[in-house]
Amino acid sequence: MPPTLTTAQRREHYDAFVAAVLDLCATNSIRSDLASGRGRPVEECGQRMQPYLVARISHYGARRAHYTVASLIAMQRHLAHEERPYTPESAFPAPTHRTAVGDPVPAAEGDGPDDTAQPMGPGRAPAAGPATGEKTAVRPWRARPNLGTSLALAVARHGFKQHRMDDRLKTLTRLSSPLLHPRLWTLAAHLDRHNAARLDFAVLLEDLAWWDHDRLHTADRWRESYFQTLDRLVSQEH
């Protein structure tokens, strides 16, 4: 039987993985190797990426989710670690005098696979090392932006056409993992070229890790966060 991890342990690993990849990207040659994945299947990018990732993900399954997120981080032109050490809170804009614009409404505890202990797949084990997850984050995990929030910010703050982003989100949420990952990489590169909303890579990693097991639930959260964020921004601007 595969080991069962708590939600906190899983999220601890996701934040720790993002922090590790950011550290790796401080070396340009490694950053280039990690960016070479471009959302491809693990079998097509393992030669360059595997030396840096295999030991960090061997006990957690969801290999393609980890490889895709690593390539997304390496592709970014401006990374959080270049300005300050990574913390979960540095993955997204910090709140000011009130809840930051664009924060999705936190889901209730017990919502889907996110808030109960779950089997993590063959070979998974609890994360080791210092905790970098929920205990150190200023905002609860579900108050951190998911992909839907980031896409809404791209529309509201960076001039992306809403009808096109509506269509992109609709398409993404219907795709299986083999089709989602390359599309997601292309979209993230497009956002990055226009200095649009930064992704919270740890939250995205969790969503991608669960995609094949709970796509409908995750897709619904992305859509809900997208439309709620757009509505909130439009209301504040009028």
Whether the pLDDT of residue 166 is over 80: the answer is yes
Helical H segments across the chain, by residue range: 7-24, 28-35, 42-57, 63-75, 147-158, 162-172, 177-193, 201-237
Structure tokens given for 24 = 């790796």
Tokens of 139: 């905002």
**What length does the chain have?**
238
How confident is the model over 195-221, as pLDDT tens digits?
Answer: 887 789 999 999 999 999 999 999 999
**By C-alpha distance, which of 18, 24, 25, 34 is closest to 88?**
18
Share of the chain above pLDDT 70, in %: 72
pLDDT of residue 88: 55
195 DSSP 8-state letter: T
DSSP string, 115-157: GS-EE--TT-----SS--STTT-SS-GGGS--HHHHHHHHHHH
- In one-letter notation, the amino acid at residue 230 is L
What pLDDT is attached to residue 80? Answer: 57
The answer, yes or no, to whether residue 102 has pLDDT greater than 60, is no
Q: What digits encode the pLDDT tens for the residues 5-17?
A: 888 888 999 999 9
By CB atoms closer than 10 A (0-12, 13-18, 19+), residue 177 is middle
The confidence band for 87, taking pLDDT boundaries of 50, 70 and 90, is low
pTM of the model: 0.76
Q: How far is CA 31 from CA 28, 101, 175, 203, 207, in A?
A: 5, 31, 28, 21, 23
The per-residue pLDDT of the chain, averaged, comes to: 78
pLDDT digits (tens, 9 = 90+) for 18-57: 999 999 999 999 999 999 999 899 999 878 999 999 999 9
- What pLDDT sits at residue 116? 35
Alpha carbon distance 67, 112 (integer Å): 24
Of 130 and 190, the one with more pLDDT: 190
